[in-house]
Chain A
C-alpha cells in the first residue's frame, strides 16, 4: 500500500467547530454537550455530523429514534444526540438493537460501532444480516483499536504496523460488505469520511426496511493517522488496492424480520392446551414404589413412563418421573424412573428399585450396577432374551415381551411390559391406565397402547 505524507490540513482540525455550528434548533445534537470529545481531527467528528444531517433530513420524532453504541471511541457518540441512547458492551451493539427493534418495530434503530466491535461481535453481524432485522448499522472503520492504544483489528490491512503488529500485520482484513452479501440483507454500502454523498447514503440506509450496513472508512488521528497518513487519496488508494470499492454495493428485497416474524406467528401461533387430568381415585397402594423402565431408543420408554405416572395421579397417587438418555437420542439407552406413592414424594432418586422392567441390552447396561445391589424382594421383569444377562439378588421374571409385542403391533413392547407388571403388582386399576392413554395420546396411538397393555395382562 502506498503511504502518502500525512497532511493535517486535508482532514481539518476545525471540523469540531463546524459540527458545533450545526447544533441549531432543528439539530439532533445537544448544544450543551458539544464540542465533541474526540481527538482534534478524528474522523468520528465527521461521522457524527453526517448522522445529524441525515436525521435532520428525515425529520424523525426524537423519541422514536434509538442510537445504540458500544465500546470504542465511537461508542461515546450517543451522548451528543437528543434521541434515545443505549450504550452497551463491546461488540454486542447489534444484540441490544435487535431486542429494541423486536420489542417495538415502530422505532428507528441506528447502531454505531467501530471495527473492533465488528470483529468481536462478528457472529452478531452475520446473524443480523441473515435475519434482515430493521437496524441501520454504521461501522466507523478506522482499522485499529483507538481507545486502547492502537492495536490491530479485523480490518487492519496486511503488513500494517500497529502496537500489536510491530513488524507488520499478518492477518488479512475483513471485507464487511462481501462477508454479509451472501445473506442478502436490505442494504450494503461502503464509503469513507472524506468522500461526498455519505448523508444520502445514510438517509437511504435508515429509510430501508431491513438490515442496512454502512461501512464508513474512518481516520484515527491518534494511531493510524500518524502511521499510515490517511487522507482522501490515501483511503481511496487503499480501497483500490484491497478491491473494496465505495458506493451502495447491494440492495436486497427480503422481508424485514420483525414484520415477517409478526405476520408468521400471528397467523400460525396458538397456545398448547394443558393436558388436565381427572383424578378419580381407585388405587389401594399403601407404600412408595420405585419403578425403572430400562429400554433402548425407539421403544417409546419415556411416553410409557409418563402414562404410568399419569395413571398413578389419576388414581389418587403422587408420582414423579425422570428420564435418562444419551444426547444422540435415536441410539443407545432410554431409561425412565417413575416413583408412585400414596404420600408426598420428597426424594426422587431410586437407589433400590422395587420394580425394574428390562426391554433392551442398552437399558440393562445402565441399571446393571443398581441391580447387583438391590434387595432380594426386588422384582425384575425382563424380556426373556435378556434374562441370562441379569445379575441380581432380586427375583428375575423372564417374560416374552418382544415376541408378544411383535404379534400385537409396532411400538407396543413397553405397554406389553406395563400390562404384565400391572397384572402382578396391582399399582392401580388397569382401566385407569387405559384412560390415561386416551387422555394423553392420539386416538390411534392410544388404541395400540391399550392393545399392548391387554396382551401384557395375559402374560401376567
Chain B
C-alpha cells in the first residue's frame, strides 16, 4: 500500500495509530497542515481536535487533556516553540506525556516562513528554564515521520515527559512515496498508557529510586489527582525540603538519562578502513547518504552514523563510531549546533562542521568537498 504524501501527513497517520486522541494547535507555516488534518481525522476515531487562540492555549489544553487520560499532541514551528517554552517546563515538572512536533523553518524570529532549517536543535534541547533533559527525535523522510511519531508517543508515555519531533519544512512538506507495510513493520508497537491500580494509594510522582517512572491516574478517574507547576514532593504538594527537592530534580534528569539507550534510534554504517565518519540527522542525513554512496562508488572510504534520536544523546554508539576514525564531519542546516555536542565527545579528532542557513539544502557534493571525502 503506497501513498504519495508529505511528511506532515505521515505525522498525522503515525499520531492516530499511536493512540493520539487529543490535538490542539495554532496555525503556523510550515506546520499548519498537521492542525488542518487533525481537525478532520481525529474526531472520527473518537478524538478531540481544536484550534487554540494562541500557542500558549494550544499546549496548555494538551497538558490538561493529557492529565485527563488522553494521549496528546501539538504541532508548531520555531516561533511557536518560543511561546510553548513555559508550558514545556510545566510538562517536565508535572511529568506530562506530550508530543510536540516542531516543523522548523528559517529563523531567527519570523525568518523565512516557507523555508526550511534545523536552527532549533539546541533551542529545543534547552527550551525550559531550569534546564532539564529533553527527548528529541529527528525524521529524515516520510517513513520516519510516521515511525518516529509513534516512537515519540511511546517515549512520552513510558517516561512521562514532553517529546519533540524535530521535523523541518524540507521533511514536513516534501512529498514522497509512503509505504504502509514498511511503516507498520518499522514502527514500534504503540504503548498503552500505564495506569495506576484503582485500589492503590495513588501518589502522582512516586519515585522510590530517581529513575523510576510511576504510572498515571487520569483526572476524573478512581483517584484524586494533584498536579502542580511548583517544586513538589511525590504527592504533588509544594515543598521547600532540600532533600526532597534534590530527589525530585534528580528524578526528572535520571528517568531520561539513565534510560538513554532504550531510546536509541540510529543507523550506524561503518566501512572498514575509513578514516572519516559523517554524523548526520534530519534532512542532512539524506545528503550524507548521497555523499557516502558517491564516495564508495568512486572507491573512497567513509563511515556514516545517522541519528534519529538526537536527545538523549546516544553516547555509547557515538563514542564507538568516533573511536574508529580521525575525522568527523557534521553537516547541519544551522550555523553549527549539534556539532558542539559531537566535539565534546570527540576530543583530539578533527571535527568539521558543514553549515548552511541560506534556505537551500546542503548537497552531497558539498559534504564531499568540504569534508575532504575524495
Contacts and interface: CB of A to CB of B under 8 A. Distances in A.
A124 B363 contact: no
Given A319-B177, A327-B114, A84 B220 contact: yes
Given A85-B227, A274-B3, 18 more contacts: A63-B223, A83-B224, A86-B219, A96-B63, A99-B67, A100-B65, A100-B219, A103-B65, A126-B53, A127-B53, A277-B4, A277-B177, A319-B177, A320-B175, A324-B114, A327-B113, A346-B293, A346-B364
Interface string A82-110: 11111111001011111111111011000
A313 interface: yes
B86 interface: yes
A99 to B, nearest CB: 3
Contacts of A63: 220-224
Interface of A: 62-64, 66, 68, 71, 76, 78-79, 82-89, 92, 94-104, 106-107, 123-124, 126-127, 261, 265-266, 269-272, 274-277, 279, 306, 309-310, 313, 318-327, 344-349, 351
8 contacts: A99-B24, A99-B64, A100-B68, A107-B220, A123-B54, A261-B48, A269-B40, A272-B40
B44 interface: yes
A319 B226 contact: no
B143 to A, nearest CB: 11
Interface of B: 1-4, 22, 24, 29, 40-41, 43-45, 48, 50, 52-54, 56-70, 72, 86-87, 90, 113-114, 170, 173-177, 180, 218-230, 237-238, 283, 286-287, 289-290, 293, 360-361, 363-364
A78 B57 CA distance: 21
A217 to B, nearest CB: 26
Nearest to B41: A271
A123 B83 CA distance: 14
B224 A100 contact: no
Given A104-B69, A318-B177, A89 B57 contact: no
A66 B56 contact: no
B68 A92 contact: no
Given A86-B219, A271-B41, A272-B41, A95 B60 contact: yes
B67 A100 contact: yes
Interface residue SS majority, chain A: mixed
Contacts of B1: 274, 276
Contacts of A323: 173
B64 A275 contact: no
Contacts of A310: 4
B127 to A, nearest CB: 14
Contacts, number: 204
Contact of A270 (B29, B44, B61, B176): B44
Contacts of B221: 63
A276 B2 contact: yes
A87 B176 CA distance: 44
Contacts of B3: 274-277
A98 B360 contact: no
B287 A104 contact: no
- Which 10 residue pairs of A and B lie closest in terms of their CB atoms, listed nearest first? A99-B64, A95-B60, A99-B61, A346-B290, A103-B68, A265-B43, A269-B43, A96-B64, A103-B65, A99-B65
Nearest to A97: B64
B61 A95 contact: yes
Given A104-B68, A271-B41, A64 B57 contact: no
A94 B65 CA distance: 12
Given A85-B226, A347-B364, A348-B174, A66 B220 contact: yes
Given A89-B86, A97-B64, A347 B220 contact: no
Contacts of A106: 220
Contact of B229 (A88, A127, A322, A327): A88
